[in-house]
Structure formats: C-alpha cells, structure tokens
C-alpha cells in the first residue's frame, strides 16, 4: 500500500490491472467507511465534505481535471477519516494515488461523469444527515461507476 509503489506500478504497462485491483479494494472498504462516517462525522467534517462535493461540482465541466482531482481526493480522505477507524483513515494515501493515477494516465473522461459528481453530493448529504445505510449504498454506486469507467477506458 506504499504510495510510491502504487505510483510506480501505475506508470507501468500493467496499469489497467493495478487500477482494477485497487478500485476493487476501494469498493470493499469505502462503503463501510462511509456508513461509519454517517455515524461519527463531526459537524466540521460534514461541512468540509459538503464543501469538497460542491468543489467537485464547480470543477466538473470545462476540462478542469486537476482542480476536480484535488476536491475528489480531499472528499475521499474526509470520508475515510470521519469513519473513526484509524485503519480506514490510513488508506487515504492509497485512494489518493488511485484517483491521481486515473487522472494523470488519462483513465478518466475529459470531464467527470455527471452522475458520479451527483452521487458525491448525495453522499455528503447522507453523511451529514447521519443516514448510514444511504451513505453505504451511494458509495457502492460510486465504486460500481468507477469500475465501469475502467472497463470503458482501460479494458
């Protein structure tokens, strides 16, 4: 899970397999983390999560992928940290490398999928509302979308 090793592997010929493996890991961990975040997030974390989701909206059109990436990474780190589980929180660097790798190696559409952006906004709201089941469901939907994008962009 070393970020430097992940970055190195994503720069190689085995990028699609590495991205898929890490995205499957995310799909197993992040829904549980989101459910916990809905139970444990502080008001400050909820506010920052909403701010980052709105930042994703603001940078989701016009090929602003670097700005979008910064908000996306921060969003997922907040969810992992807000879970209250220190092991989930430590996966923030892994998720950051996966998201950065997708962007920097053109395994991302020119503009993010509008449905995915909306799911992040809805996830921020579910966490703020304390709706653990909805937070988990939305995060699973985000993960399925990410896997589908890999099928299209990095078969």
Instruction: Give pLDDT tens digits for 105-140.
Output: 877 788 899 999 999 999 999 999 999 999 999 999
Which residues form the domain of 89? Answer: 3-153
Q: Provide DSSP, 77-110.
A: HHHHHHT--HHHHTTHHHHHHHHHHHHHTT-S-S
* Better-scored residue on pLDDT, 155 or 57: 57
* pLDDT of res. 134: 98
Distance CA 45, CA 37 (A): 9
**What's this model's pTM, rounded to 2 decimal places?**
0.93
* pLDDT of res. 155: 67
CATH value at residue 138 = 1.20.120.530
């Amino acid at each position: 899970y070393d970020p430097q090793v992940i970055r190195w592997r994503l720069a190689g010929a085995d990028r699609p397999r590495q991205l898929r493996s890490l995205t499957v890991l995310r799909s197993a961990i992040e829904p549980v983390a989101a459910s916990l975040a809905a139970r444990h997030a502080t008001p400050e974390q909820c506010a920052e999560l909403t701010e980052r989701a709105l930042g994703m909206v603001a940078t989701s059109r016009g090929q602003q992928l670097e700005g979008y990436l910064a908000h996306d990474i921060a969003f997922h780190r907040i969810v992992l940290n807000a879970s209250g589980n220190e092991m989930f929180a430590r996966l923030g660097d892994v998720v950051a490398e996966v998201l950065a790798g997708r962007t920097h190696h053109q395994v991302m559409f020119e503009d993010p999928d509008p449905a995915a952006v909306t799911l992040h906004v809805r996830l921020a709201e579910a966490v703020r509302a304390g709706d653990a089941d909805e937070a988990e469901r939305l995060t699973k939907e985000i993960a399925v979308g990410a896997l589908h994008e890999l099928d299209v962009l990095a078969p």
